[in-house]
């Protein structure tokens, strides 16, 4: 995770190139400035389908209509 990326945070997926450099192949951007999206990550099979799923934390996400902050995003693999 890259929680400070572009002020919103992001999760970067990459691969190692032949020159041993890191090449980004996909990015999941955060949706709120300052939410620290990508601060915590977990990969596990949530639904027992033998595919790993991604859980991303955004501890400083805030919704004005709620008393508490923070968000957890779940990306299910297909």
Per-residue pLDDT of the chain (78 residues; tens, 9 = 90+): 999 999 999 999 999 999 999 999 999 999 999 999 999 999 999 999 999 999 999 999 998 877 888 999 999 998
- Residue ranges per domain, the chain? 5-75
Q: Which residue has the tokens 């990306």?
A: 75
Find the radius of gyration of the CA atoms of the chain.
Answer: 14
- Quick check: 35 and 56 in contact, CB under 8 A? no
Give the per-residue pLDDT at 65.
Answer: 79
Give the per-residue pLDDT at 78.
Answer: 84
Main-chain phi, psi angles of 7, to 5 degrees: 70, -10
- Quick check: 37 and 10 in contact, CB under 8 A? yes
- Quick check: 3 and 39 in contact, CB under 8 A? yes
């Amino acid at each position: 995770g890259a929680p400070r990326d572009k002020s919103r945070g992001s999760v970067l997926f990459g691969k190692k190139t032949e020159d041993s450099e890191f090449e980004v192949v996909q990015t999941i951007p955060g949706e709120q400035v300052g939410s620290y999206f990508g601060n915590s990550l977990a990969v596990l099979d949530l639904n027992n389908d033998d595919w790993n799923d991604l859980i991303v934390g955004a501890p400083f996400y805030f919704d004005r209509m709620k008393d508490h902050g923070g968000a957890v995003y779940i990306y299910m693999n297909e």
